Amino acid sequence: MKSRNLALAAAAVAVITGGGTAATVAAEVKLKAASFLPGRASFGAPFFRWVKEVNKQCAGKVNITVVGPSAIKAFEQPNALKQGVIDMLSGPPAYYKGIAIAAETTVLAHVDPVEQRKNGAWAYLNRVHNEKMNAQYLTYVGFGVSFYVYTRKAGKGGRFDGFRMRTAPIYDTFFRGLGATTTKMPPPAVYTALERGAVDGYGWPLWGVTDFGWHKYTKFRYGPGFFNVAVNIIVNLDKWKAMSADQRSCLTNMAMWLEKEFPKWRAAENAKATAAQNKAGIKYIDLGAAHAKKAEELYWAELTKANPKDVSALRNLLTK
């Protein structure tokens, strides 16, 4: 009886002082994140900037530390997230296209992430990530930052017959449709390939050309821009479920904050990148709206063929 009374007294003290179940406040959760690019790179910087703000606004609830591709190779990061080796990932859906191909549809979106959250696209994308990636989908950055065709020499009539172009899976079909021979190589290898004339050009967004020094060998940028950059922010689903409602709410609110804040960052970086290319003497050539439309239709067809149900549903939500 005495021991029972002591136990009851201890429990009462714990509740009063905040140490018991009735008044427990979840300890700050530590999240290990990986970024596909270092913080100094154009498409790595927004995530690091966001993490800094999360750690400030969610202090006492969530704290994120970030490792870059030097710690975990970029193409290995999605599987590391899925397996729970890391808790959070900032990287393009193209890097896990083989696992969740429908996640790639955001590169073709016509409505921004704020609208996607309202019209059901976010919920659909989250379900895809839950089921395929064992991940909670927070948001992405890059909407409104387009890809372009860059070359060392002038094309003819919007065609690049005889050109050897560095490409990526998302626009490989498009480049071949423009007459080019394509080759895949990681970004660090492109500078030497341009320098030696091994490639005549490449596809890349507006941002980052000067980051790699490619502007030294680039003479033309062809537009209008096509697609959108998409760099997703996702959380391991097991980790997400283990967090408190307050912790999850703070991360969700910060994702929504980013969706509204990013357009300001985008405008500043777009202006900076355009000025840098102009200074480098890169001439912009407008090929007309059909250029971008062709790129989009080819990629929609490719994605739809691979996953008709999910891609068709997302196309209706992302382009209406």
265 with 289, same domain: the answer is no
pLDDT digits (tens, 9 = 90+) for 153-209: 999 999 999 999 999 889 999 999 999 999 988 888 999 999 999 999 999 999 999
Q: Which domain holds residue 83?
A: 26-144+229-269
Query: Residue 43 domain-assigned?
Result: yes
Residues paired with 127 in a beta bridge: none
Q: Assess if residue 183 is contained within a domain.
A: yes
Local structure of residue 45 (DSSP, 8 states): H
Report residues of the chain scoring pLDDT below 50. 1-24
Q: Is residue 120 part of a domain?
A: yes
Residue recorded with tokens 């969706």 = 259
DSSP 194-222: HHHTS-SEEEEESTTTTTTTGGGG--EEE
CATH code, 194: 3.40.190.10
Cis peptide before 78 (omega within 30 of 0): no
155: amino acid identity, one letter: G
Q: Which helix (H) or strand (E) holds 51?
A: helix 45-57
Residue 200 lies in a domain: yes
Q: What is the pLDDT of residue 186?
A: 81
Read off the DSSP letter of residue 176: H
Count the domains in the chain.
2
CATH number, domain at 35? 3.40.190.170
pLDDT of 222: 98
**Could you write out the DSSP letters of every residue in 92-143?**
-GGGGTTT-GGGGGGGG-SS-HHHHHHHTHHHHHHHHHHHHHSEEEEEEE-T
Q: Which residues pair with 222 in a beta bridge?
A: 149, 285
pLDDT tens, position by position, 272-294:
999 999 999 999 999 999 999 99
Query: Is 305 domain-assigned?
Result: no
Q: Are residues 218 and 291 both part of a single domain? A: yes
pLDDT at 25: 59
Looking at this protein, which amino acid is placed at residue 91? G
178 and 245 co-located in one domain: no
Q: Quote the CA–CA distance of 54 and 61 in Å, as a whole number.
A: 10
Total residues belonging to the chain: 320
Amino acid 137 reads: Y
What pLDDT, on a 0 to 100 scale, did the predictor assign at position 23?
35
48 lies in the same domain as 153: no
Is there a domain that residue 7 lies in? no
Q: Is residue 257 part of a domain?
A: yes
- 0.85 exceeded by the pTM? yes
